[in-house]
Chains A and B, each alone.
Chain A
């Protein structure tokens, strides 16, 4: 098969996979929050209430879709699209398995292996704020505008520390291509007896991980940094004037951003598609040979990548139902006075360690 058709297949897989994430996460969010608050949550339709998401979707589609008379129609209709498309686009450069050779043709399991890699993710992810800003402005509503203004201030503040926090990672692996970063994390960092600690980002950049994760929470507008929505303060923030499927698009964008953030965290700091501990034994025990073995390896890699992403998605939900919202000034002082100096410190320490030849 040609390069093009493989790309189309991978594109289709990623797109369909991402679309499945949203209803599943809706269910996880509702059930998870309920169980944490000593409730049961939706459990009526389907096993464990899994089909509630389908009912939600049907409800969203068939709801009345009014356009308020006081809005700026063009930008009002454009905003949800501008929000949701960057969320889909960012996943393009994330590798979800290593490569496989079929008839001398090397196939990378990554929709596009761009040479700008992680920078592409930052560039596209920051476009999402335009959608939010547009929604807030076009809604012609003071709460919506407040939400979007907060959102843009927050995104700009946290993008800086987010970008700086991964400079350490880039220095260590000397590449911005996510495929290379994921591959290099398979190397052994230290050998403790029979246990080999891999060179995962978490072991070489623990401070970077904390800063990046915190910034990712802020970038995706999730609690404890959900000031753009802030139900108790500004009603619903930027998507206040939206209903039906247009609101659903904003929600989709939020969950897709979460997925991308989780995928980036697992790719940069947890080895991406590198097999989880114990999976290598399972793969050897299956004892396939030839091409089957290669495909089994790919399947295991996709599985371990999915498990890692799913775990971080759960962390997003878990943190949301644990921590209260930051106050606006505290958010800003944490971003500028706490995380920015820490990320600069991280760069200096990493540079020093590399110069000394430790990492």
Chain B
């Protein structure tokens, strides 16, 4: 579409408009509030629904998980690997619970699917690592969030 803008004589002469623009940038330079968050010292406030690093909820040091295999079934990235076992009191529990976090897409469907409120996503988002790492059960049962 052809847009015609009304430009007066003064606008065509550039100079006045240029000086107006220069004053606008100077106004920002001195007076505007800066939006930068200085990361390691200041942090952005995320809501509790933020989906970060996983953890398995444990009560009295025993994980809630009963190895029902709902989370590896629902997982679209197929990053959860569980090997089920049997405790002495005949209760089913995960012998191995591994999350390949490099495959994980943090959709949170495992959290939704879990009937035992075992797998949870915490608020932690600093997960950069130098080498490929699979999070095992010992790592995951550390209580990283308050969900």
Does the CB pair A318–B15 fall under 8 Å?
Answer: no
Q: Is the CB of B34 within 8 A of A39?
A: yes
User: Are A40 and B38 CB-contacts (below 8 A) given A210-B15, A323-B18?
Assistant: yes
Cβ-defined partner of A318 (8 Å) among B26, B34, B35: B26
Name the residue in B22, B28, B29, B38 with the highest tally of chain A Cβ atoms < 10 Å from its Cβ.
B29
Asked if A319 is an interface residue, CB under 8 A from chain B, the answer is: yes
Complex CA–CA separation, A37 to B28 (angstroms): 7
Asked if B21 and A322 make an inter-chain contact with CB atoms under 8 angstroms apart, the answer reads yes
The answer to whether A39 and B36 touch across the interface, beta carbons within 8 angstroms, is yes
- B28 touching A40 by the CB < 8 A rule? no
Quick check: is A36 within 8 A (CB to CB) of the other chain? yes
Other-chain residue from B15, B22, B28, B32 in contact with A319 (beta carbon distance below 8 A): B22
- Would B25 and A38 count as touching, CB distance under 8 A? no
What chain A residues lie within 8 Å of B24 (beta carbons)? 322
Docked-complex contact B25 and A36, CB < 8 angstroms:
yes
A residues within 8 A CB of B36? 34, 39-40
Q: Judge whether B33 is part of the interface by a CB distance below 8 angstroms.
A: yes
Cα A35 to Cα B15 with chains together (Å) = 24
- A38–B35 alpha-carbon span in the complex (Å): 6
Chain B residue nearest to A334 in the complex (CB): B14
Give chain B's interface secondary structure class: helix
Bound: A32/B22 CA distance, A? 13
A321 an interface residue at 8 Å Cβ cutoff? yes
Known A-B contacts A318-B22, A322-B22, A323-B21; A36 and B29 likewise in contact (beta carbons under 8 Å): yes
Contact residues of B between 93 and 115, Cβ < 8 Å to A: none
A323 contact set on B, CB distance < 8 A: 18, 21
Instruction: Name the contact of B34 in the complex, choosing from A32, A35, A210, A321 (C-beta under 8 A).
Output: A35
* Separation of A321 and B25 alpha carbons in the complex (Å): 8
Distance to closest chain A CB from B83 (angstroms): 47
Size of the B side of the interface (Cβ < 8 Å), in residues, is 15
Interface string of A34-51 (1 = CB under 8 A from B): 111111100000000000
Contacts of B38 in A (CB 8 A): 40
| Partner among B15, B18, B28, B35 whose Cβ is within 8 Å of the Cβ of A36 | B28
Residue numbers in B under 8 Å from A40 (CB-CB): 34, 36, 38
- The docked-state distance in angstroms from the alpha carbon of A101 to that of B69 is 94
Residues in chain B near residue A322, CB distance under 8 A = 18, 21-22, 24-25
A40 to B33, CA, bound (A): 10
Task: Closest B residue to A315 by CB, please name it.
Answer: B22
Contact A38 B18, CB 8 Å, known A318-B25, A321-B25: no
Q: In the complex, how many angstroms separate the beta carbon of B16 from the nearest chain A beta carbon?
A: 12
- Docked Cα-Cα span, A253 to B20, in Å, equals 30
Verify B21–A32 contact, CB threshold 8 A. Answer: no
Decide: A38 and B22 in contact? CB cutoff 8 A: no
Alpha-carbon distance A36/B29, docked complex (angstroms): 4
> Within 8 Å CB of A34, what residues of B?
36
A36 CA to B27 CA, complexed, in Å: 8
- Interchain CA distance A319-B34 in the complex, whole Å: 20
In the complex, are the beta carbons of A32 and B15 less than 8 A apart?
A: no
Question: By the criterion CB–CB under 8 Å, are B35 and A39 in contact?
Answer: yes
From residue 312 to 352 of chain A, which have CB atoms closer than 8 A to chain B?
318-319, 321-323
State whether A38 touches B26 (Cβ < 8 A).
no
Contact B34 A38 (CB under 8 A): yes
Q: How far is the CA of A321 from the CA of B26 in the complex (A)?
A: 10
The reply to whether B28 and A38 contact each other, CB–CB distance below 8 Å, is yes
A-B contacts, 30 of them at CB < 8 A, read A32-B29, A34-B36, A35-B29, A35-B34, A36-B25, A36-B26, A36-B28, A36-B29, A37-B28, A38-B28, A38-B32, A38-B33, A38-B34, A38-B35, A39-B34, A39-B35, A39-B36, A40-B34, A210-B15, A318-B25, A318-B26, A319-B18, A319-B22, A322-B18, A322-B21, A322-B22, A322-B24, A322-B25, A323-B18, A323-B21
New A-B pairs, 16, CB < 8 Å, besides A35-B34, A36-B26, A321-B25: A35-B28, A36-B28, A36-B29, A37-B28, A38-B33, A38-B35, A39-B35, A40-B34, A40-B36, A318-B25, A318-B26, A319-B18, A322-B21, A322-B22, A322-B24, A322-B25
